[in-house]
Structure 1
Amino acid sequence: MEQAHAMVIDGTPVDLVLRRSARRSFALQIDHRGARVAVPLRTSLGEIERFVHSHGRWLLDRLKASAEAARVPVLEVADGVQLPLFGRPLSLRLHEGGRTQWRAAVDGGEELVLPLDGDPSRALLRALQARALPWYRGRVEEYCHRLGLKQPSVRLSNAVTRWGSCSSRSGIRLHWRLIHLQPGLIDYVVAHEVAHLIEMNHSPRFWAVVEHIYPDWRAARSALRAAAPTLPVIGASGHGAAAR
């Protein structure tokens, strides 16, 4: 059962969709439709509002990031276009033929050669995702080593509101668009998710684990929030996640 509900959080009007169902926990989400809160069937409106207010700052930050991301134009793939790769410029080159390849650029950076045949945007997405996954796996392995943990399964994500997620059953998922960021900011997300292997929550104990393996996490979290709206949008990839 869903119903619309309006609230004011820190002076800002917020429209929500409330969904009651046979669940046990509360969940607050943001997607292309806006803010949604899922609660158990018999939850009172007062309880719902207290839950939303307890996450008010997070909610306002996510809504702002989502609105800013929606204004970022879709990247037009063309010869000579640049986009960030691990925080450094990556130049795109288009050529006749059917093979995608990475190569060194004359300025010491990198170029990605994409075939004109077919859909260059789709070829770009595949190339970036193929580059991201092994790099992410290496960083997860490093942070698991720091905690003496066995490395879990690592897969790519295309979630709307999260840079990463961690499950005791399915392992760690990391958003492929993190590849645009500087390695240090990617490492913050990796450290965040690896810490969840010990604490599946955001309690003080969890943040203590994060601080142990990534001491500068507060600055990184702020930098990630600032960088998120500036990342390129490629084809149908969507605007990606909001910062953790």
Structure 2
Amino acid sequence: MANILYIEDDLEISKWVVEVLEEKGHKVNWLSSGEGATKIAREVEIAILDVMIPGLDGFSIGRRLKQEYPSLPILMLSARTSVEDRLQGLEFADDYVTKPFYPEELVARIEVLLRRFQQNQTEKVRIGHLDIFLEENRILDHEKNEEIILTGKQYQIFQYFLRHQNQILTKEQLYEGVWGESYLDGDKTLMVHIRYLREKLERDPAKPDLIETIRGLGYRLKI
């Protein structure tokens, strides 16, 4: 089931929509305005936006979300039924539902969008600010919307970490697992690669929160 961002200022409608979606097993992050939407959007699989909300309207928020998260499906809800409004919404949104609507219709529209976007994406793992597309050997910083390019050996080390998430790995395990050779005490090769890996992947390489050093033992990819 999906993790959903839902923005609507009408309390009665919001309660009804949240109840319908949660009955279907979805997790709903409900906001009454666009404040905080960008942050929450990092963790959701679809956004449902009402047009008429306090502050920035749904169109403005939707455009901002689509710019920052191009792969996030957006569904607009609105009492505006004119062709002009629908066209304005569909300039950036992936679907547009007019009020009033039946709950079955809303659920069906959501499921169609989720299937469409999932089919367009390869297998993806999200770790903190990183999206890892496993089949493409590609890493995206979804906060900056920038691709991170690793060298072959750096990616092999990161893949090894991914296969052993939250496990403490010794230098010997890492070296033998990636290089296929026995680790020689005092060899700085692995340490240098870890440093370069952190410089590319961490928000702050000086204070890494992904690849942890476990003093006296080794390293761990913390999820």
More strand by share: 1
Do they fold alike, i.e. is TM over 0.5?
no
Q: Which has the higher contact order (CA 8 A, sep 6+)?
A: 1
Q: TM-score, normalised by structure 2?
A: 0.29
